[in-house]
């Protein structure tokens, strides 16, 4: 059976995926920001005696991701499958949210470019596109 890492397993699709793969016999490493705030997976895992291990991982923190991956690999060796389900939820329209919230949500970097006609214009770009725009 496969060793499966699933992010965002506190509820919804991540929770259902962890349970489904655990019931199929796969060794599941279920991650979420704060397992104490989402006990359902732990309760169902214990009740059904599923091969699911729950650990902390905040995908917005490089340190948290590196630590969690290192711990999983120490326990299981290489990870066979990644289900990258973790998401970020923000409430409000783009016009109402602060630019920093929009940028973090979309993983983009607010940047002012000198070659834009109006120097107060802020252009939102994905990091890999910045070199192309500046070039």
Q: Has residue 124 got a pLDDT over 50? A: no
Same domain, yes or no: 52 and 105:
no
Q: Looking at the 3D structure of the chain, how many domains does it have?
A: 2
- The verdict on 72 and 103 lying in the same domain is no
pLDDT band per the 50, 70, 90 thresholds, residue 108? low
Which residues have a Cβ under 8 Å from the Cβ of 79 and sit 6 or more positions away?
3, 4, 5, 29, 69, 72, 73
39: domain CATH number?
3.40.50.720
128 is a domain residue: yes
Q: Is the pLDDT of residue 35 over 70?
A: yes
- Do 57 and 123 have their domain in common? no
Q: What is the pLDDT of residue 98?
A: 74
Structural domain span for residue 41:
3-84
Question: Quick check: pTM over 0.85?
Answer: no
Same domain, 107 and 78: no
Q: How far is CA 93 from CA 43, 86, 87, 104, 118, in A?
A: 36, 21, 17, 15, 24
Check pLDDT > 70 for residue 135: no
């Amino acid at each position: 059976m496969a060793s499966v890492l699933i992010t965002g397993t506190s509820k919804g699709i991540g929770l259902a995926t962890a349970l489904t793969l655990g019931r199929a016999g796969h060794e599941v490493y279920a991650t979420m920001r704060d397992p104490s705030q989402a006990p359902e997976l732990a309760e169902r895992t214990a009740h059904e005696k599923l091969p699911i291990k729950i650990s902390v991982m905040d995908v917005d923190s490089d340190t948290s991701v590196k630590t969690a991956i290192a711990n999983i690999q120490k326990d299981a060796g290489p990870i066979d499958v990644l289900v990258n389900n973790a998401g970020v939820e923000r409430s409000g329209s783009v016009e109402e949210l602060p630019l920093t919230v929009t940028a973090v949500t979309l993983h983009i970097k607010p940047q002012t470019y000198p070659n834009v006609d109006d120097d107060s214009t802020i252009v939102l770009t994905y990091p890999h596109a910045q070199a192309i725009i500046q070039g």
